[in-house]
Amino acid sequence: MKTKNNKPLNVAIYGMDERSHKMMEMFLKGPCKGIAVVVDELGAELDIIDADSVNAKEILDNRKVKTPDRPIILLSLEEVIIDGTIYVKKPVQTDELVEALKKVKLMLGGDKLKKVKDLPKQLSSPESKPEPEPKKEKRPFVVENKQTETKKIDSKKSKKRAKHRTTVNLTEKGFSAYIGHVDGVDFSDQEQVLLASFSPKNFFLGYVQSAIRVARDKGRILQLNSSWKPLIIFPHSQEIWLDADDKQLRAFAGLAIANKSGQGMSLSSVEQNTSEFINEKIESFYDADAFIWRLAVWTSKGRYPEAINIDRPVYLKHWPNFTRLVVTPHALQITALLINGPRTLINIADSLKIKPQYVFVFISAAYAVGIVGQARRKADELIVPPEVKKPASKGLLSKILSRLRS
């Protein structure tokens, strides 16, 4: 069957779940500029099979029987060489798929394909073990019975100024001074950077996070006791109280807490005299998320949480509330990019042309407050994320940005 060069190829897709199917459809329409269009089995001139799917062999055998002369493109993480098929590596890149589709167009315009030979035994890679579901934090959603008039004003709330302050906005120059130094990692060595992970459980951060979870579960105000200062958790108002300045907190944040020292950590109810002291030092109240975020930045120091698989895409649930958080270098850029779709940490750094540690510290903070997850959908790994286009010259938006930052 001859195909006119300008007419899109009719393609049938196999071995993909609904989301991946939809993504491939959009990919062909968008980045591949409509060189092919997805149709059903009967109307197709070409079959595209996800060769990594569990029943890929069965699909391929089936296609050989039903439409022996129809060209086949196999998508796979590992190279698959089968006569009469065209292999395209996953994650799929626009140029490679377009090239393969052009080859098919030529084939359809020329001789018929040779028949497909038998598959090797292992066609699909075994399914990777699904990652455990991250524990979802239940955030109370309260919609009060509203009156038409303005709500009552709580004067005490407005006195907790630390909560409502515009916070630190770090540039690259100020970053190292702010986060401090981490021993044992040379951030100028790319190999070391990729191995630079940390476990929150080994630091004050992990204990605070656990304590907050317990306080929320029990619905009670609790005190985290340690060899350092007491930290009070107010789960109903999502607040933390800690009588310590930034310098003290930063120093303690970076200390690895050995197992033995960790046994000295405990949770208790708040004593009466502590309660009176808290009320006198109202400026030591912090929003819980803002506190955890800051603590995570100081614990990370440019490393990433070990729970994050650096080779798999991460997603961001929503924009952080940056006006009340430490804004690490390039944080807004990273956020804007991730909101558009999941990416690996290294892809983010490469796409934005920034050092990986800026990505790592942002992800550490965002992960600590529960707004980052590891993508598990196959559709998120199917196609290479689009390149980030930087304007060739300083466009209008860049000029506005410069003006805002001057």
Partner 1 sequence: MTQYKIIFTGPVGAGKTTAIHSISDDPPVKTDATASDMTKNRKSSTTVAMDYGLMNLDDGEKIHLYGTPGQERFDFMWDILTVGGIGLILLLDNTRSDPFQDMKFFLDSFGDFISDTSVAIGVTQMDISSTPTIADYHIQLKEMELNPAVFSVDARVEDDVSLLVQALLFSLNPGLEDE
Residues of this chain that interact with partner 1 (CB under 8 A) are 139, 141-144, 146-151, 153-154, 157-158, 163-164, 166, 169, 171-172, 237-238, 317-319, 321-324, 327, 329-330, 332-333, 335-337, 339-340, 352, 354, 388-391, 394, 396-405
Q: Which residue, 105 or 163, has its beta carbon nearer to partner 1?
A: 163
The residue among 261 and 402 lying less far from partner 1, judged by its C-beta, is 402
The 3-class SS string of the chain reads: CCCCCCCCEEEEEECCCHHHHHHHHHHHHCCCCCCEEECCCCCCCEEEEECCCCCHHHHHHHHHHHCCCCCEEEEECCCCCCCCEEEEECCECHHHHHHHHHHHHHHHHCCCCCCCCCCCCCCCCCCCCCCCCCCCCCCCCCCCCCCCCCCCCCHHHHHCHHHHCCCCECCHHHHHHHHCCCCCCCCCCHHHHHCCEECHHHCHHHHHHHHHHHHHHHCCCEEEECCCCCEEEECCCCEEEECCCHHHHHHHHCCCCCHHHHCCCEEECCCHHHHHHHHHCHHHEEEHHHHHHHHHHHHHCCCEECCCCCCCCEEECCCCCHHHCCECCCHHHHHHHHHCCCECHHHHHHHHCCCHHHHHHHHHHHHHCCCEEECCCCHHHHECCCCCCCCCCCCHHHHHHHHHHC
Nearer to partner 1, 46 or 331 (CB): 331
- Of 175 and 203, which CB lies nearer to partner 1 in the complex structure? 175
Closest contact distance (angstroms) between CB of 342 and partner 1 is: 13
Shortest distance, position 171 Cβ to partner 1, whole Å: 6
Q: How far is the CB of 394 from partner 1 (least distance, A)?
A: 7
In the bound complex, what is the minimum distance in angstroms from residue 400's beta carbon to partner 1? 6
- Give the nearer residue to partner 1 in terms of CB position, either 121 or 389: 389
Of residues 66 and 164, the one with the C-beta less far from partner 1: 164
Closest separation between CB of residue 77 and partner 1, Å?
27
Cβ 341 to partner 1 shortest distance, Å: 11
